[in-house]
Chain A
Amino acid sequence: KAGVTQTPRYLIKTRGQQVTLSCSPISGHRSVSWYQQTPGQGLQFLFEYFSETQRNKGNFPGRFSGRQFSNSRSEMNVSTLELGDSALYLCASSPAIGLWNTEAFFGQGTRLTVV
């Protein structure tokens, strides 16, 4: 069974640009969550999508947005990039049953560097 696939693996962008990251969850999983990992703040929750709807959102500015498609694939977008957005962005896939918690499996992440 294929795992969570995130593309691209590495990305270098300039301040002020925007970026789109992609996540393909494990087949059959309906929930996709996004996390930002930095040395200083650790892993922080960005948002979760389930059945194409954003269910939860973390404490991040509106420059961070996402969406989920009917095949459960998800994208996240960061506009007007800042140096502090440099991080490892991780996608987690869960089978999900309604609102219940289920195991979350992470992809390898996209390492974004803003210069």
Chain B
Amino acid sequence: QKEVEQDPGPLSVPEGAIVSLNCTYSNSAFQYFMWYRQYSRKGPELLMYTYSSGNKEDGRFTAQVDKSSKYISLFIRDSQPSDSATYLCAMTSGGGSARQLTFGSGTQLTVLP
């Protein structure tokens, strides 16, 4: 079993929809959580960065972390065709391994105009 599980999709939604992307994890030591967006043939772009449990909002994006359930989510409001990409969750523990990220497999999202 992988440490981080992410539904690979593909996920297809109409423009303007609310998108929910999720990851579950098994390592209770994880405490830093990130969401990246990756367009085809490009490097991952950092969208959200959160520490421990709670919510964080940035424009149309909201990240939620529930450490008790080992579950993280990314919500995209008013989705746009330009949001079509692969979304990757990533996480890490603290201390000496703080910068060793473990990634989910990515969810491919298509927003239809």
Contact = CB atoms under 8 A, between A and B. Distances in A.
Interface in B19-51: 32, 34, 36, 41-46, 49, 51
Interface in A1-58: 4, 6, 31, 33, 35, 42-45, 48, 50, 55-56, 58
Nearest to A106: B43
A55 B96 contact: yes
Given A100-B94, A101-B94, A45 B102 contact: yes
B103 A50 contact: no
A88 B56 CA distance: 30
Contact of A45 (B36, B88, B101): B101
Nearest to B36: A106
The interface size bin for chain A is 20 to 34
Interface string B89-113: 0101011111111111110000000
Per DSSP, are chain A's interface residues mostly helix, strand or loop, or mixed? strand
Nearest to B91: A101
B2 to A, nearest CB: 9
Contact of B43 (A31, A48, A90, A94): A90
A100 B100 CA distance: 11
A35 B88 CA distance: 14
A35 B99 CA distance: 12
Contacts of A101: 32, 51, 92, 94, 98-99
A48 B99 contact: yes
A109 B100 contact: no
Contacts of A106: 36, 43-46
Given A106-B44, A111-B41, 20 more contacts: A4-B43, A35-B101, A42-B105, A42-B106, A43-B44, A56-B97, A56-B99, A56-B100, A58-B100, A90-B44, A92-B101, A99-B98, A101-B32, A101-B92, A101-B98, A101-B99, A104-B90, A106-B45, A106-B46, A109-B42
